[in-house]
Amino acid sequence: MSTEDQEDELLALTSIYAEDEFKRTDAAAGGEFQLCLELPSDFVVSIKSNSATNSSADNFENTVSFLPPIVLNFELPPGYPSTTPPNFTLSCKWLTPTQLSLLCQRLDDLWEENSGCVVIFPWIQFLKEETLDYLNIKSPYEIDVSSNGLQSWMQTTEKTCEDGVLLEKAPYDKRAIQDVQSVPALVRCILDFNEAQQKKVFDNKPFLCNICFMEKLGSECTHFKACEHVYCNYCLKDYFVVQIKDGQVHALNCPEPKCPSVAIPAQVKDLVGEQLFSRYDRLLLQSSLDLMADIVYCPRLTCQTPVMQEPGGTMGICSVCQYAFCILCKMTFHGISPCKEPEEKPVELNEGDESDDEDWKRVMEKAFDKKKNIEWIEENAKPCPSCKVPIQKDEGCNKMTCSRCKQYFCWVCLKILPTANPYRHFEDPLECLKELKPPEEEEY
């Protein structure tokens, strides 16, 4: 009769609880429960190891929505449920052996209260719904970690006086296990579990996309964590593809107007695929190198490898093609001789040229074009006060937005403007004049 009761109880538990919460043991009548407790909002946990070698790396504090589960392993003996209680162990990473021992004692009490009846379901209900109140756990909660880890709590310790008389027995139940090997491992486990559970909740929750105005599950959406905005993957993919093809790799931000949140590379890769992501990655690297003052490019059109300038020198040596060149005129390195930049298009490029060095012709043509571009930029553009990229003003007011770093600035005085209220700078018509006024004239 007891065997039938055990089988009925296990079948009932299997039908009630999800597979990731309860797994039945095939070899014996028993199973394992992974019990994730419902925490209050803004629940703060901290860890301060009591190890003698405690360091700043062993201390941790963070706000979490989920903590690793309490694990109940049980086996139903032949006499269960008539006369014998289940055999069990209770393990957890963030509860101390003392706290776990109190829970073990409470499970024993529940067996006594329900003697002769199946008891696993009442045990699970208690652990899931009453553990925090029963142990008086509130935020902020400090996790106590043993210096020796798991093994120091698995044995009952005794203290004796000099004559061998037993004085004290540590109140740790042998069924209570704090499954902790080290503080860094515990911190990583808490953060990984919290992130995985948050992703699971997000995937199963519906969200409204503000681009297509359709409601979709989180598993079909992308979440910008900095601003909490959510858009469906279909719309966001189209948005990112257009930006990358146009070379606007610094504009892969949240589509919400004026939102500064930026997509991380992993999100971009998941949406646009490997091929387009390679272009995004290459352009992003190139734009970062362009901002570095000590980086130049190999002038050979077939190479174009980034080259780091030697401090105080004018020579660059390409690490790929080994071409040694002058970083000023981009010609073959000429030592202390002055650069020979053409003031007009070289005669070698005209019809009837007898030179057959096509690579040299292309270099000279590129040098000529670059010189003309620099002259045009100096006459028609101003440098962004933040990243120094040249900006041209073709229309509109004097409040400018850098196309590269998105910084607001004034076109007249090049002052960086605050993101919150950039137009406040223009409320006083004399503001720009103050910025431009030479210091020696301020006294008059």
Active site residues: 397
What's the count of helices (H) and strands (E) in the chain, helices before strands?
Answer: 9, 22
State how far the Cα of 105 lies from the Cα of 193, in Å rounded to an integer: 28
- Count of Cβ atoms closer than 10 Å to residue 41 Cβ: 7
| N-term to C-term CA, the chain | 107
Contact 249, 287 (CB under 8 A): yes
Query: How far is 100 from 91, CA to CA, in rounded Å?
Result: 7
Query: Please, is 377 exposed, middle or buried when counting C-beta atoms within 10 Å of its C-beta (0-12, 13-18, 19+)?
Result: middle
**Helix pair angle (120-134, 2-16), 10° resolution:** 50
110: tokens are 């529940």
- Of 130, 143, 21, which Cα lies nearest the Cα of 72? 21
Could you tell me which residues come within 8 angstroms of residue 323 by beta carbon, excluding any fewer than 6 positions away?
A: 298, 299, 300, 303, 317, 332
Compute the C-alpha angle 93/97/99, nearest 5°: 90
**What is the C-alpha separation between 344 and 117, in angstroms, rounded?**
100
- DSSP 3-state assignment of 166? strand
Eight-class DSSP state of 17: S
Nearest CA to 277 out of 264, 287, 289 is that of 264
Q: Answer whether 87's CB lies under 8 Å from 107's CB.
A: no
